[in-house]
Structure 1
């Protein structure tokens, strides 16, 4: 009996050891899938005021996000990703990265840029402006290489689900001509939009075919004031509090994309060939935007308020 008991103990030990080994050999990808979801990060932009600018390139070396585990790396690119922001307007966007990350609530996304720090000594020239005459100007940013280019706003990555997020640049506000130094700075002017909670205004403004340039500026309902048209101080722009903007094209159409659900007012301004503000044409108020929906408006110039 003692021999049998000893064998029973050995057999039981082997069974326990085997069971433990089976747990330890669980596939790594299965474990990683628990408590995670997919995040897709897109980039888009709005038009610039300066009509001599043909392209605005930024060079991105990595993407980070701040969420339930603090700051995490989403992507570190082997080679910097160079993007002309002006190529992605009117609802067009560029897929920057798509990653599996921890599920939960995120509050910030940070782009690490290959860009010259203002006053620094590095030779980072991956980010620059290109003009219609073919010339280029290197872009500078204060502290850009150390802190990155942050976009603040909330989004949720659901467990075993996915979230699409758009970083909406406003290069019109971001570009700052640094006076006598003949230098351009790229200050933070970017919105973080959860695509599932956002919609679009698509419209047509008839009667503007004879004008050089008309821009539609979108504001939260009631947020516009007459001071928006004042001559800007150094480093600022007119219509500074507009959420976004869109140029009315040759078909007299415009698109204001990636707007959070809510009620908006659209203001139309006329500019000359050089992009200098001439006057305000009027506005169209109380446009309701729903999540993942399009609000279509069609108006005539003489109907503007």
Structure 2
């Protein structure tokens, strides 16, 4: 099997540091993962800069508590007009609990500006009622082991209003939310678990995803496009023979469970 021999040669470069990382990573296999991205419908300006300070999610209907900040959040100012025509930027990429996401909150700072077609930079005025953040209803379930993408589609034309003919502009964000599963996931166990094994997902001869086994030999590949693949297992221990599982089917929004596989000498 020439593909396996080639992959096995690379697997021998994996150090014992991989095993330490794998142990800590194993704890997150039952959680969902969410990527929050910002995009824009164009407006009649040269630039629109939005000061994003935080992104929170809420799992309950109580607006006074339950808000959780997403890990890996990227605070900063974003020019919305560079995020048009299906372009977006990821604001957060985090592991989250499974369950139903009730709301998301986009917390904006006060450093929001527009550049008019005449070239003037004008600071946006924000109503005081929005100081707690822009709250958006989601009411959609997320399942453990699945990667989701939440797209915040910022409508500039409806969000920015000129205050009469004063040259001042008011920001009242109008944002559409789109939450979708990004493919499916594969979960299984490869033994023996004394040292980690590389787990590679191939479509033909092309590697489309890879990971390594963690504590107890568990592994998970997330965000895999729907289709049929082969799984390749290569232990760090060179005395163990690589193995292949053919015809692994992945469906969007589902976790494909693989029977435990034991590598032999």
For the aligned pair, the TM-score class normalised by the smaller chain equals 0.5 to 0.7
What SS does the aligned partner of 2:158 have? helix
Distance 1:57 1:75, change over 3 A: farther
Q: How many Å separate the matches in 2 of 1:180 and 1:171?
A: 19
- Cα-to-partner distance string for 1:161-205 (whole Å, 9 max, x where unaligned): 2111101111110111112543211113111111349xxxxxxxx
Q: How far apart, in 2, do the equivalents of 1:137 and 1:144 lie? A: 21
Q: 2:121 aligns with which of 133, 136, 140?
A: 136
The root-mean-square deviation of aligned C-alpha atoms, in Å, is: 2.8
Would you say 1:73 and 2:69 are equivalent positions?
Answer: yes
Equivalent positions of 1:1-305 (< 5 A) are: 30-31=26-27, 33=28, 35-48=30-43, 50=44, 53-67=45-59, 70-75=66-71, 80-115=75-110, 126-143=111-128, 146-196=131-181
Q: Deviations over 1:216-240 (max 9, x none)?
A: xxxxxxxxxxxxxxxxxxxxxxxxx
Residues 159 and 80 of structure 1, relative CA distance in 2, 3 Å threshold = closer
Gaps of 5+ in 1: 1-26, 116-125, 198-290, 292-305
Normalised by the size of structure 2, how large is the TM-score?
Answer: 0.53
- The alpha-carbon deviation at position 106 of structure 1 amounts to 0.6
* SS of match in other structure, 2:114: strand
TM-score scaled by length of structure 1: 0.46
CA distance in 2, matches of 1:80, 1:144: 21
Shift of 1:157: 2.4
Give the structure with higher Rg (CA): 1
Change (3 A) 1:28 1:145: farther
1:279-298 Cα deviation digits (max 9, x unpaired): xxxxxxxxxxxx9xxxxxxx
Distance 1:55 1:127, change over 3 A: same
* CA pair 152-87 structure 1, distance change in 2 beyond 3 A: same
Deviation at 1:39, TM superposition (A): 0.7
Matched residues in 1 for 2:86 and 2:129: separation? 27
Instruction: Flag the 1:162–1:144 CA change in 2: closer, same or farther, 3 A.
Output: farther
Find the residue that maps to 1:195 and give its secondary structure. Answer: strand
Map of 2:197 onto structure 1: none
Greater RCO structure (CA 8 Å; 6+ sep): 2
Contact 2:124 2:169 in 1 (8 A): yes
Give structure 1 regions of 4+ aligned residues with deviation exceeding 3 angstroms: 27-31
8 Å CA contact retained: 1:57, 1:85: yes
Could you say which residue in structure 2 is the equivalent of 1:250?
Answer: none
Is the helix fraction higher in 1 or 2? 1
